[in-house]
Amino acid sequence: MNSAGAAPVRALPARLLAYYGDDFTGSTDVMEVMAAAGLHTVLFVAPPGPADLARFPGALAIGVAGTARAQSPAWMDEELPQQFERLAALDAPIVQYKVCSTFDSSPQVGSIGRALEIGRRVLRPVAPVPIVVGAPRLGRYVAFANLFASASGGIFRIDHHPTMARHPVTPMREADLRRHLAAQTAARIDSFTLPALQAPDAVTRLQLLLAQAPHAILFDTVDEATLAQVGRLLWECLPGPLFSVASSGLQYALVAHWRAAGLLAPATAPARADVAQAVVAVSGSCSPATAAQIDAAAAAGWDDIALDPLALLDEARATGYAARSADTARRALATGRSVVLHTARGPDDPRRRRVDAALAAGPDARQVTLARLGAALGRLLDAVLDGSRVTRAVVCGGDTAGAVVEALGIRALTMRAPLAPGSPLCDAHGGAHDGMQLALKGGQVGGPDYLLAAQRGHP
């Protein structure tokens, strides 16, 4: 290998990747990048057994959608070791702990640092843990270890971001991801920044950094060129098997390198789904982006059903209230009108403030209450689907999505067609809703017409 970084190209193995997603919407994000590149990918709702894997022969990437983003370090200590052990048994050269590209987390909730520690302990990787967060196609950039994200037509440092700086559970108050992680782990994290990535001797510089034996390396990623360079360095220069903590930026980087190296065919036109007569969407998101999507759907003629979250959480009222709400949605769907049911319309919705007021008791109240609300939305969507002929649904909100999918009894997802980067339309496998089409959308994802795109079947 010379100083310019020339290296022999490794052929792609029969299995490329095994990953655990720390929430459901982010898990479909990885699946989208891989599947769009022609790499057969399956996302399971729970760790797959031999019979599950046998249903999807030839899968090059296997994912497990989890809920760690909303969990405590104690939960992670109990749950993640077995998840990593099962992923390692799939014999892929890369095991990934997939995180959101906004990196929102804290020492108490969704600790990425704790997940990194557990993965290193269980998997014992030879190389430092590569951390790849930037994904320009999603409007996420890392420059000199600082994270930036797009919103409302602009690009903001993450601690100034209009939504993520105000996240109801894990507000981002530090943009330097090394400092952010330092509050969550004692692991030593170095960074490989733009000057090193863009240098002619990038490989040599990486080797010098590896010689210092950091526990993890955070890679800058600001455009397609730096993505491809990161993919090359990871695939060709780091000894494996690798354990990576990364967003779908990892997949974008690897795919870019594989294409440049001639290991993948050139990109083809994306698939399209058929137009759906009617769609039902449920939203637990407080994001302004989701609020704009609800507004656009209502303006286009969708029925806009504002749910009372406190009624869904009240044991005495929940059953009757949910039944009435489901009946209202089914009546609209029966006439061919699409429906969106939501618990908030942006961060300033008075309903959110009422829920916040009800969460005053105890440090864990928010986490428990939001999980209960997500489960209630799942049961509500299940009731709507059971009583209608609708076969396409959308779930808005990363934390909401996991609870909804669990309530629907879905076992696995495969990608059908892209809608917006990070939130494709998927086919559901297993359970009473086998064969239905489902899109899981993170709060920040998609333009104002996302729900309309879900109905027409393409962006």
Q: pLDDT digits over 347-380, tens only?
A: 889 998 888 777 655 546 666 777 888 899 999 9
Note the pLDDT of residue 372.
86
User: According to the 3-state scheme, what is the secondary structure of the chain?
Assistant: CCCCCCCCCCCCCCCCEEEEECCHHHHHHHHHHHHHCCCCEEEECCCCCHHHHHCCCCCCEEEEECCHHHCCHHHHHHHHHHHHHHHHCCCCCEEEEECCCCCCCCCCCCCHHHHHHHHHHHHCCCCCEEEECCEHHHCEEEECCEEEEEECCEEEEHHHCCCHHHCCCCCCCCCEHHHHHHCCCCCCEEEECHHHHHCCCHHHHHHHHHHCCCCEEEECECCHHHHHHHHHHHHHHCCCCEEEEECCHHHHHHHHHHHHCCCCCCCCCCCCCCCCCCCEEEECCCCHHHHHHHHHHHHCCCEEEECCHHHHHCCCCHHHHHHHHHHHHHHHHHCCCCEEEECCCCCCCHHHHHHHHHCCCCCCHHHHHHHHHHHHHHHHHHHHHHCCCCCEEEEECHHHHHHHHHHHCCCEEEEEECCCCCCCEEEEECCCCCCCEEEEECCCCCCCCHHHHHHHCCC
Q: Which residues contact 33 (CB under 8 A, 6 or more apart)?
A: 248, 251, 252, 255
**CA distance linking residue 43 with residue 54, whole number of Å:** 14
DSSP for 376-390 reads: HHHHHHHHHHHTS--
Identify residue 246 by its one-letter amino acid code. A
C-alpha 362 chain-centroid distance: 28
Which range has the worst mean pLDDT, 96-110, 263-277, 285-299? 263-277
Domain ranges of the chain: 17-260, 280-456
- CA nearest neighbour of 347 among 180, 103, 169: 169
Note the pLDDT of residue 361.
56
Q: Which residues pair with 283 in a beta bridge?
A: 342, 396
User: DSSP E strands: which ranges in 52-106?
Assistant: 61-65, 94-98
Top-level class of domain 17-260: alpha beta
The torsion defined by the Cα of 217, 218, 220 and 224, in degrees rounded to 10, comes to: 80
pLDDT at 337 over 50: yes
Note the pLDDT of residue 6.
41
DSSP for 213-256 reads: --SEEEEPB-SHHHHHHHHHHHHHHS-SSEEEEE-THHHHHHHH
Q: Which helix (H) or strand (E) segment is 454 a member of?
A: helix 450-456
pLDDT at 222 over 90: yes
pLDDT at 140 over 60: yes
Taking only the tens place, the pLDDT of each residue in 393-418 is: 999 988 788 889 988 999 999 999 99
Note the pLDDT of residue 364.
60
Angstrom CA distances, 1 to 106, 116, 197, stand at 41, 30, 17
**CA distance linking residue 211 with residue 347, whole number of Å:** 47
pLDDT at 297 over 60: yes
pTM assigned to the model: 0.89
**CA distance linking residue 151 with residue 153, whole number of Å:** 5
Identify residue 298 by its one-letter amino acid code. A
Length of the chain: 459
Angstrom CA distances, 438 to 48, 166, 443, stand at 20, 28, 16
**Confidence band for 52, pLDDT divided at 50, 70 and 90:** very high
Task: Decide if domain 280-456 falls under CATH 3.40.980.20.
Answer: yes
Note the pLDDT of residue 360.
56
pLDDT at 428 over 70: yes
pLDDT at 432 over 50: yes
**Helix, strand or coil, per DSSP, at residue 306:** strand
Identify residue 113 by its one-letter amino acid code. G
Handedness of CA 71, 222, 29, 120 (dihedral sign): negative
Note the pLDDT of residue 152.
79
Q: What average pLDDT does the segment 108-122 reach?
A: 97
| Cβ-contact 163, 443 below 8 angstroms | yes
pLDDT at 161 over 80: yes
Note the pLDDT of residue 2.
33
Note the pLDDT of residue 270.
86
Identify residue 191 by its one-letter amino acid code. S
State the chain's mean pLDDT as an integer: 92
C-alpha 402 chain-centroid distance: 11
Note the pLDDT of residue 381.
96
Q: Is 139 left (phi over 0), alpha (psi -120 to 50) or beta?
A: left
